[in-house]
Amino acid sequence: MALKETLDGGKFAVTTEVGPLKGTDISEIMELAEILNGKVDGVNVTDQQSAVMRLGSLAACSILVEKGLDPVFQMTCRDRNRIALQSDLLSASVLGINNVLVISGDYPTLGDHIDARDVYDLDSEQLIWTINRMNEGYDLAGNELQGKTDLFVGAVVKPVSDTDESFELQLTMMEKKISVGARFFQTQAVYDVEVFERFMKRAVQFKVPVLAGVIPLKSAGMARYMNKNVSGVFVPEHMIDDMARAKDKVATGLEIAAQLMRDLKDLSQGVHIMAIGWEKKVPDILRLANLA
């Protein structure tokens, strides 16, 4: 079932994501397409993730369409001006790509081409507005399109904040993105269910589906690294201890992810699994979470 159909029907949605490789070898994408087909409602394709040059999201999304999946075209504001952004959106629509997730994108200095110039011609709110304007049949300059788009637009939000001020800011930004046309949200990774519940008690007023992010833990070191370096992510100490003591860290990491998904099922409208190298294990996680 397509992502939009699932969410519009009030059903619990499951999405995951894949990151294209640096090169023209698409064998891994083809293999993942076979593994994920029929298991998830949507597959995000990252757009030059972490500002590292890779195969483009648009091409990878097209491959997934051909393999019978419903891709989510991640689009960053970092690399393209408004002409290129709109052109890629038209191309996505023609290729049968129906979903777009708008993100700002990491700065080039964090990636593998540190001398690259960032663009940020449009910010995320402006790009969301632009997509909805194109859905109405017009480009950003007001010109009428010869065939309008029909794109299902999503955005991101961080449900975990360090301060009350940043918590309120996330809700304000979420409301602004909805006002310009965001139809669903995917969150940063969630590990503390109580904190997520607090967020959802406020976010429910917006009446827009929220897919809670889940990143399977691979080690205690990974958890500590995210706590120190990844904004909006906090792994509780008891999970870190469980990973540190685990003899089978793969099995423990998958079970923690599955338990989180079971706990989040009644609080959100779906989950977004960011497997980060464990994409082939997504069906195992879904089975453990009783979502297969």
As a whole number of angstroms, the distance between CA 163 and CA 165 comes to: 5
CA distances from 5 to 1, 12, 13, 98, 109 (A): 7, 11, 10, 11, 39
∠ Cα 77 63 30 (to 5°): 115
Q: List, for residues 90-110, the tens digit of each pLDDT value.
A: 999 999 999 999 999 988 988
Q: What is the pLDDT of residue 134?
A: 98
As a whole number of angstroms, the distance between CA 271 and CA 257 comes to: 11
Model confidence at 232: pLDDT above 90: no
Q: What is the pLDDT of residue 179?
A: 97
Full-model pTM? 0.95
Q: Residue 1 — pLDDT band, cuts 50, 70, 90?
A: low
Q: List, for residues 57-82, the tens digit of each pLDDT value.
A: 999 999 999 999 999 999 999 999 99
| Averaged confidence pLDDT in the chain | 96
Q: Residue 210 — pLDDT band, cuts 50, 70, 90?
A: very high
Average pLDDT over residues 111-133: 95
Q: Domains, the chain, ranges and CATH?
A: 3-287 (3.20.20.220)
